[in-house]
Homo-oligomer: A and B are copies of this chain.
């Protein structure tokens, strides 16, 4: 669980996955990443995409979002930040508010846990879904 090999070769597959992920702000799912990447590497396998998303996450070059939706999503922005998810169409956007770091201390005290991090996810209806009601 805590053995990150400090060596990781930059293969073309990894480079393309990272590129594509940084190019968008849409927090794509693994198979969306697969589709994006396949345009440049048509023979890449879905397994490779999963393996590399996992590896890039372990090396903290990207983030894995386990938000309320069904599938995991991936974020090319590795800095901590919060998200809003549209319950209707499933899109996920970033939220521009500052992390609530002071809460972690409070929770550590009252729960007895050693707190390592936290996630905040808002849910609602995005602008597009609001109008198409």
Contacts and interface: CB of A to CB of B under 8 A. Distances in A.
A1 to B, nearest CB: 8
Place the interface of chain A in its size category: 35 or more
Contacts of A103: 97, 120, 122
A79 interface: no
Copies per complex of this chain? 2
Nearest to A121: B119
Given A97-B107, A107-B97, A122 B117 contact: yes
Contacts of A110: 95-97
17 contacts: A66-B66, A68-B119, A84-B107, A84-B115, A86-B113, A96-B110, A96-B111, A97-B106, A111-B122, A112-B126, A113-B126, A113-B127, A114-B124, A114-B130, A115-B122, A116-B123, A118-B122
